[in-house]
Amino acid sequence: MSMLSPEEIKRYSRHIVLRGVGGDGQQRLKSARVLVVGAGGLGSPAIAYLAAAGVGTLGVVDHDTVSLSNLQRQIIHRSDAIGTSKAESAAGFVAGLNDTVAFVSHVERVGTDNAAGLVAGYDYVLDGTDNFGTRAIVAAAAQAAGVPLVSGAVSMFDGQVTVFMPGGRTFRDLYPDTPDEADLPACEVVGVLGAVTGVIGTLMAMEAIKLITGIGEPLVGRLLLYDGRAARFTELGY
């Protein structure tokens, strides 16, 4: 396990004095390799907080480019990044926030042909994609690789997050049937409140940090639902 430099001890001082994290927990963060699938509404806050927390290696996979309509919720991207790769834009954000993080950019679309290769070499995966088929592919790859997966989703004013652990309940336990795409309208059609993606994406980062450091009780076998209009969280077992 790599030691913390004097600069890192100062940077992460609020973690190091925090009971339950401390220097050991910060070293675990520094040694962790985390893959974030999607640098959009959910990926943005997850990437920001994982980078700020000192995750040693942060991989981001996204084939898309930044557009003007993204900026309402995808907070790591800037107006001057419009038209550029989201993964490369994320790299610039992370470098500006914390240059001790090793960033790996994967500018490609996730599919059955490359999901296993993308997951390989990472200790944890966070999936913030907005397509059910892609989410199922990522979940299957993480399960096959024995890698914990933090999965989040949002729509309109609502969101959800859960954690799938190797050998535990799976994505298919939560979603035994593949829904019709017509029943899952994209945010381009129904909209999404930007701050909702911030709530869920930050919760995803929190779950990843808990898994890495060993603190608390992860959302394993539990689906946490957020109703933004009612300001209410509900938990469901599966």
Catalytic positions are: 187
Both structure tokens of 176: 């035994």
Nearest C-alpha neighbor of 41 from the set 7, 64, 16: 64
Residue 222, strand partner residues: 237
- The label of the residue with tokens 């040694």 reads 31
Which secondary-structure segment (H or E) carries 190?
helix 187-190
Distance, in Å, from the CA atom of 132 to the CA atom of 129, rounded to the nearest integer, reads 8
Angle, alpha carbons 164-233-210 (nearest 5°): 40
Q: Output DSSP code: residue 68.
A: G
